Structure 1
Amino acid sequence: MSKPVRSPGGFPVVGIIGGGQLARMCAGPAAELGLTLSVLAEAADASAALVIPSAPVGQHTDLEAVLALAEHCDVVTFDHEHVPADILAALVATGVPVHPRPEALVFAQDKIAMRERLTALDVPCPAWAVARTPAEVEAFGAEVGWPIIAKTPRGGYDGKGVLVAGSAGDLTQWLAHEGTAETGLLLEERVPFVRELAALVARSPSGQAAAWPIVETVQTDGICTEVLAPAPALTGGEAAAATHIALRIAGALDVTGVLAVELFELADGRVVVNELAMRPHNSGHWSMDGAVTGQFEQHLRAVLDLPLGDPSPHERWTVMANVLGGEDEELYSSYRHVMARDPGAKVHLYGKGVRPGRKIGHVNVSGDDLASLRERAGHAAAYIQGKVRE
């Protein structure tokens, strides 16, 4: 592949494995910081490849392609968590700094490993078990009560790889899968939560950490459709406790870069950890326009071990609404209406192919009136999606 063109002044090249929207949204902050990005994109028209000049085409499972990318980079990070362990080991062996490190990334790749490690750290989690047989499923359901939550250990997201099971019979196909005998299924109690929260932090290799406000995430059919920053009606003590959990996890797991900790809030204000993501995350998209330092700039700072930026919010509230794909593949024509109706709305589209239910962008609005912000962000997202036409 051709060597990335470095910025003048000795600024580093950051390699990103994966050409999705998270890599794409690093482009603006990288340019402002004087950095050069090089992404290993799945296709020439991948989201990040459309805006980042150095975008060789290759798969994250292709060792030769991964090492060719790393050869011209000063540090390598990830758009997603799916790079195989042997590829990661070979990448580390080149001597190029890799963030997050594979020893930490495994806890975002493997949900069973994550539960084992968090339990050892005494981090609050749902009751859980690993099952390989119907009898083990039945025993867990009898212990914690039906229904239960079943998860594939690797690869699930946006509700995929997750099943609410009312009996062991609901998991017959999953248990019959050839990989289940080796890894097992992760079973969890169905937590009686009142809402979902997320704690987003960043940590650098030298150990500096920064945390954004705790946010509320609103899910529709297993997909996050709205984020409220900060989470309404969360006391200072509750917010501090949730932030402490995220910072403790980041330190104990030696996470470098951005870490998202998805949380369930219980009726008494306590939280339990649902899942981890070691990369910029949907729950932090609000920070692009709503915080002094957004998550994409912060991630770049962290993986380069630069001093971290201020994560404080600009306004009292910021609402992020996800734009999901609809039937109309042409999106640009919606801009005029959205911009004219609400000049304060910040629209971010990802350059992805449109299909129903797929996350193709988001809208951020900030201000003092939370109800108004939710209406504004929701209308803009719905209009772009084609759900409303007024």
Structure 2
Amino acid sequence: MALTLGIVGGGQLARMMIAPSVELGVEVRVLAEEPGMSAAIAATAVGDYRDLETVRAFARDVDVVTFDHEHVPQDVLRALVAEGIAVHPGPDALQFAQDKLRMRARLAELGIPQPVWAEVTDAAQLQAFLAENGGRAVVKTPRGGYDGKGVRVVSSPDEVSDWFADGALLAEELVDFSRELAQQIARRPSGESAVYPVVETVQRGGVCAEVVAPAPHGAPRLAEVAADIGLAIAEGLGVTGMLAVELFETTDERLLVNELAMRPHNSGHWGQDGAVTGQFEQHVRAVLDLPLGDPTPRQPWAVMVNILGGPVADSLESRLPGALAAHPAAKIHTYGKAPRPGRKVGHVNAVGTDLEVVVYEARAAAAFFAD
């Protein structure tokens, strides 16, 4: 009898888990937030992921529950686990992706390198942190932020006065970094891990725009240090499934942990076409506790370019033939989402032996969908 995977959340990450699940002979069911979402093809239920009864009813008919996002409340997750339902990643791990203050505290206990940080509950505490850290700082809401949301660079507590009403905030030093990197690790419940090459990510407006795999121009030990950090976090937090560790490479060549994601991640989209086993198949394998696939790149270079916003006057579908004809070697992935400024509506992957050529192919194919 086929294994059945239940995915909570109907976004593009769930959508991209469907094809590799089918190829593995795994049945997929999706609990979507609303009709017509990216993963609608496998949506067997529509409902509120914050409601225990809704999630419980969905989970009864699957072998393992996993996630398209990290927002399912802890009480819902723990109720499922208490009832004997397999949840991967589990609530004990997910709490550190859901709450940045908990994440920072736990990483400090594990001895993981990270920026100077503090929990601040009022303007006076934030002012003291600013005074100790050069007069400027990054302030984050502990929960709910993504793609630049819930993050402000400030030089005065007045700039986040509206946030204090909701509780404590996370203050971090403004890191002097040369570039941003990401390290992905896959880990299954039985403990086997797989390590992907560390990649360079390029952000625009707080949103990932491009990824180069592997990260070019790195110091000889860069890949080893990034992998060690990723493995230490995956094991120390008990992560199951895909883990993405977003990193700063500082101007003095240190690595500091910025953010964590316990699911497939934008920084790993390159692997769909550039790795022997991409992150979506790997996540399915990992959460079902199947032997992990080979994360080795197929070619020396892979580049992913996000399609952000998309065409307003027409549609992605109308421009697809032109892009495919002009760049037959590029792989174009669309999410079935309506264009909207800044919204991730698809991405393009290109692979090859010459980095300049690969970057050109990915950017040029993605440009067909720009407005």
State the TM-score, normalizing by the size of structure 1.
0.93
CA deviation after TM superposition for structure 1 residue 329, in Å: 4.8
Whole-Å separation in 2 of the counterparts to 1:302 and 1:346: 25
Q: Secondary structure at 2:170's aligned position in 1?
A: strand
Aligned counterpart for 2:93 among listed residues 98, 104, 124? 104
Alpha-carbon deviations, 1:82-132, whole Å to 9, x = none? 001111111112211100010000000000000000011110010000111
Whether the aligned pair in 2 keeps the contact of 1:111 and 1:153 (CA below 8 Å) is: yes
| 1:192-207 alignment, distance < 5 Å | 192-207=176-191
CA deviation after TM superposition for structure 1 residue 268, in Å: 2.4
Whole-Å separation in 1 of the counterparts to 2:136 and 2:357: 37
User: Which position in structure 2 is the counterpart of 1:4?
Assistant: none
| 1:379-390 alignment, distance < 5 Å | 379-386=364-371
User: Which position in structure 1 is the counterpart of 2:222?
Assistant: 238
Alpha-carbon deviations, 1:268-293, whole Å to 9, x = none? 22100000000000000000000000
Letter in 2 for 1:336: P
| 1:51-66 alignment, distance < 5 Å | 51-52=41-42, 54-66=43-55
Letter in 1 for 2:4: V
Letter in 1 for 2:160: L
Point out where structure 2 has 5 or more consecutive residues left out of the alignment: none
May I ask how many residue pairs the two structures share in their alignment? 370
User: Which position in structure 2 is the counterpart of 1:40?
Assistant: 31
User: Which position in structure 2 is the counterpart of 1:371?
Assistant: 356
| 1:137-156 alignment, distance < 5 Å | 137-156=126-145
Whether the aligned pair in 2 keeps the contact of 1:258 and 1:279 (CA below 8 Å) is: yes
Structure 1 stretch displaced more, 261-270 or 376-385: 376-385
User: Which position in structure 2 is the counterpart of 1:304?
Assistant: 288
CA deviation after TM superposition for structure 1 residue 382, in Å: 2.1
Q: Secondary structure at 1:115's aligned position in 2?
A: helix
Matched, 1:19 2:10: yes
Alpha-carbon deviations, 1:234-281, whole Å to 9, x = none? 133111001100001000111000000000001222100000000000
User: Which position in structure 1 is the counterpart of 2:21?
Assistant: 30
User: Which position in structure 2 is the counterpart of 1:3?
Assistant: none
Matched, 1:128 2:128: no
Structure 1 stretch displaced more, 63-72 or 377-386: 377-386
Letter in 1 for 2:204: T
Whether the aligned pair in 2 keeps the contact of 1:329 and 1:354 (CA below 8 Å) is: no
Matched, 1:360 2:351: no
Matched, 1:347 2:336: no
Q: Cα RMSD (Å) of the superposition?
A: 1.0
Whole-Å separation in 1 of the counterparts to 2:153 and 2:367: 29
Alpha-carbon deviations, 1:27-49, whole Å to 9, x = none? 11001000000110011201101
User: Which position in structure 2 is the counterpart of 1:336?
Assistant: 321
Letter in 2 for 1:33: L
Q: Secondary structure at 1:248's aligned position in 2?
A: helix
Q: Secondary structure at 2:211's aligned position in 1?
A: strand
Letter in 2 for 1:15: G
User: Which position in structure 2 is the counterpart of 1:274?
Assistant: 258
Whole-Å separation in 1 of the counterparts to 2:72 and 2:117: 26
CA deviation after TM superposition for structure 1 residue 328, in Å: 3.3
Q: Secondary structure at 1:25's aligned position in 2?
A: helix
Whether the aligned pair in 2 keeps the contact of 1:328 and 1:385 (CA below 8 Å) is: no
Whole-Å separation in 1 of the counterparts to 2:370 and 2:336: 14
Alpha-carbon deviations, 1:296-318, whole Å to 9, x = none? 00001001111100000000000
Aligned counterpart for 2:77 among listed residues 76, 88, 94? 88
Whole-Å separation in 2 of the counterparts to 1:307 and 1:248: 20
Matched, 1:250 2:239: no
Alpha-carbon deviations, 1:194-238, whole Å to 9, x = none? 000000010000000001100000000111000000000113311
Point out where structure 1 has 5 or more consecutive residues left out of the alignment: 1-9
Whole-Å separation in 2 of the counterparts to 1:283 and 1:148: 25
CA deviation after TM superposition for structure 1 residue 385, in Å: 2.5
User: Which position in structure 2 is the counterpart of 1:113?
Assistant: 102
Q: Secondary structure at 2:149's aligned position in 1?
A: coil
Whole-Å separation in 2 of the counterparts to 1:188 and 1:329: 42
Aligned counterpart for 2:244 among listed residues 242, 253, 260? 260
Whole-Å separation in 2 of the counterparts to 1:270 and 1:133: 31
Letter in 1 for 2:345: I
State the TM-score, normalizing by the size of structure 2.
0.98
CA deviation after TM superposition for structure 1 residue 189, in Å: 0.2
Whole-Å separation in 2 of the counterparts to 1:321 and 1:259: 21
Whole-Å separation in 1 of the counterparts to 2:214 and 2:156: 38
Whole-Å separation in 2 of the counterparts to 1:235 and 1:310: 24
